Amino acid sequence: MRARVILGEVWRDVVSGTTRAGLLAVVFVVLVGSVALVDVRSVAGVVQGGVGFRAAGATVQMLQAPGLVDGWRCDALSDLGSVSYAGAVRQAEPVRILNLPSARVTVIEATPGVVGMLSVMGRAWTDEAIPDGVWLSEDLATMLGAAPGTVLETSTGEAVVQGVYAWPDDGRSRDLGYAILTPVPAAGVFDQCWLEVWPVDAEAASLAYTSLTRPPEGGQVTTGQLNTRLGASYDAAGLLRGRLTAQAPLAGLVIGLGLGYVAVRTRRLEIASALHARVPRAGLLLQYVLEVAAWAGAGMVILAAGLLWGARWDNPDRSWATWLIGLRIVVAGGAATIFGALAALATTREKHLFRYAKER
C-alpha cells in the first residue's frame, strides 16, 4: 500500500468517526490526566511544605553564647554553599517611643545576614530608598500605625522605619515578636549566631561554633532551632521519593496500553476482513498506529497545557520541574497506546474472521 493511500484511509476513518477518536481522546485525557494531576499536586504539596517549614523559621539554627560571638565570622558563614543566610544578634538597651511613653520597646541589633532571613521567614515590606533605617515587627508597626518611611520619635532620637517584617506566633522564639530591629555592621561581639540552612543539614548548623571568639566555658553556649514546632528537619527529597503517587508513570503506562489495545481490538472484524482481502499487514499496521496516534496525540497536547496550570497553581516553585514530572506520565501513557495497538493487531487473525462476525 502506498503512503498516500494509507494516509487517506486514516483521514477518512478519523473524520467519519470510525476510530472513535473524539471519545478515546476524552477518555485518555480523563484517565491519564487524573493520574498526572494527582501526582503534580502531590509534588506541589511537598514544595509547599518546604516553603512553610522555612517560613516558620524551622530552618534557622541559633547558637547562643552571650558576648562570645564574633559578628564578622558569623556573617561570613553565609559564603558557604549549604548556608543560605548567616547573621549575628545582640540585645541593645530598650527605648521608649514618645507616642507610647509608658512602654519600653525591645531593641535587637542584627547584622545584615539576619535582615536577609526576614524575607524567608514570612512577609516583609521594605523601602529600598531608606538604607539606614530600622525594622519593626508587624505587631509593633500595627500598634504604632507605622509603615516603611515613617519617622518614629524615640527616647534616643528619631528613627526612620526602613521595613516591617511578619513574626507570627507560630512556635518560633518571640524575641523579635514585638521589637525594633536595628541593622548594624558585623563588627564587634554579639550574643547569638543565626544560620539559615536549606536543605536542613545538621553538620552545616554546627559551623556556627566557628564564630566564637574563644572556647566557651561550661554552660555558656546553647544551640537550638528558632522554631521547633514542625520538627527538626524537612526531608523534601525523601518525601518526593516516598509519595503515594511516585509510581504514577507506571499507572499511565497501564492505562495507555489498555486504551490502545481496546481501540484496535474492538475493530477486529474490520481488520480480519482487510486481511482476508489480501491487504498487507504492514499497511494495516501503519494505518492503525497513525489512527491511534491521532487521538492519543491530541489528548497529550490537551494534557500538557492543562498540567502547566495544575503544576503552577498555588505552587511556590514556578519552575518547569513540577510540570515535567506530570508530563512523564502523559508521555508514558501516550507511548503505551501505540504498543497497546500493536498488541491488538498482533493478536487479530484472519482465520478468526467468522468467529468475529458471530461475536459482533
What backbone torsions phi and psi does residue 102 show, to the nearest 5 degrees? -85, -5
Split at pLDDT 50, 70, 90, the class of 224 is confident
How does pLDDT run across 175-202, given as a tens digit for each residue?
888 899 999 999 899 999 999 998 888 7
What's this model's pTM, rounded to 2 decimal places?
0.80
pLDDT bracket for residue 229 (50, 70, 90): confident
Expressed as residue numbers, the domain containing 208 is 59-229
Same domain, 34 and 83: no
CA triple 279-280-286, angle to 5 deg: 110
To which H or E segment does residue 73 belong? helix 71-76
pLDDT, tens digit, for every residue of 40-96?
A: 999 999 999 988 898 888 899 999 999 999 999 999 998 887 888 999 999 999 999
The angle subtended at Cα 99 by Cα 96 and Cα 100, nearest 5°, is 55
Cα 309 to Cα 18, 236, 252, 277: the distances in Å are: 33, 22, 19, 49
Same domain for 96 and 210, yes or no, is yes
Tens digits of residue pLDDT in 114-129: 988 887 887 788 877 7
Question: Do residues 21 and 134 share a domain?
Answer: no
- Which pLDDT value is given to residue 233? 85
Grid cell in block for residue 323? 510540570
> With pLDDT > 90 as the criterion, what percentage of the chain qualifies?
38
DSSP code of 216?
A: P
| Same domain flag for 73 and 204 | yes
133 and 268 belong to one structural domain: no
Q: Which grid cell is 360?
A: 459482533
* pLDDT exceeds 70 at position 238: yes
Q: What is the pLDDT of residue 4?
A: 66
Q: Which of 304, 298, 335 is nearest to 320 (CA)?
A: 304
Residues 257 and 156 in one domain: no
Which residues, 6 or more positions from 168, have their beta carbon under 8 angstroms from its beta carbon? 122
Domain's final residue, options 191, 212, 229 = 229
Number of folded domains that form the chain: 2
Residue 354 has pLDDT above 60, yes or no: no
Concatenate the DSSP letters of all residues of 77-105 into one string.
Answer: GGGSTTEEEEEEEEE---EEETTEEEEEE
Q: Residue 104 corresponds to which cell in the numbers above?
A: 519600653
Q: How far apart are CA 225 and CA 343, in angstroms?
A: 58
Nine cell digits for residue 277: 482481502
**Confidence band (pLDDT; 50, 70, 90) for 306?**
very high
pLDDT of residue 2 exceeding 70, the answer is: no
Dist CA 255 CA 333 (whole Å) = 6
Quote the radius of gyration of the chain (alpha carbons, Å).
Answer: 32
- Is residue 101 predicted with pLDDT exceeding 80? no
Q: E-strand spans in the chain?
A: 60-70, 83-91, 95-97, 100-110, 124-126, 134-137, 151-154, 157-165, 179-183, 189-197, 222-225
For the residues 156-169, what does the mean pLDDT come to? 89
Distance, CA of 50 to CA of 58 (rounded, Å): 10
Are 131 and 154 members of one domain? yes
Residues with Cβ within 8 Å of 215's Cβ and at least 6 positions away in sequence, in order, are none
Is the predicted pLDDT of residue 29 greater than 90, yes or no? yes
Q: Which of 183, 202, 229 is the C-terminal boundary of a domain?
A: 229
What amino acid occupies position 146? A
**Domain match, 75 and 214 both:** yes
196 and 126 in a common domain: yes
* Report for 25-29, 226-230, 352-356: range of highest mean pLDDT: 25-29
Same domain, 115 and 223: yes
| CA 312/CA 296 separation, integer angstroms | 24
Residue after which a domain boundary falls, among 184, 203, 229: 229
For 29, the enclosing helix (H) or strand (E) is helix 21-55
Q: Which three cell numbers stand for residue 58?
A: 524551622
Are 65 and 13 in the same domain? Answer: no
Q: Which amino acid is at 181?
A: L
* Residue pLDDT, tens place only, 257-304: 999 999 988 777 776 776 666 667 777 777 778 888 899 999 999 999
**Do both 19 and 67 map to the same domain?**
no
